[in-house]
Amino acid sequence: YERRKVKIRVLDVEGNEDGEGNVEGEEVEMETYVWVGGETALEEGEWDFGEFRREKMHRWIGRREEYDDVDEAVRARGEDPTGGRGANGSITKKLNGRQEEELLKSAI
């Protein structure tokens, strides 16, 4: 993943999980992670937000205990099913390292 700035439209009204009934509002700039790992590491088929919410979202949000299954998978298989986004994943470690560097620079 690579962190990039993108422009999005904020939803003024959120429709159903298929996006029906969404009403877009103002455009804002934000940062997101964009996949740069190539097609071979992607799942087949179109991404389905409803399925993601039901089956996988718990791996990325919530209390610390919810990351336990991700951490266990990393230990057991040697691969991170979140692609580095888990609590102990490579992306999180890099972000934590940057925060520490920024904190040290601001203290000097």
Give residues with Cβ within 8 angstroms of 73, minimum separation 6.
79, 80, 81
Q: What is the pLDDT of residue 24?
A: 92
pLDDT category, 22, cuts 50, 70, 90? very high
pLDDT category, 82, cuts 50, 70, 90? low
Helices (H) and strands (E) in the chain — how many of each? 3, 2
The CA distance from 103 to 101, in Å, is 5
Instruction: Calculate mean pLDDT across residues 52-68.
Output: 70
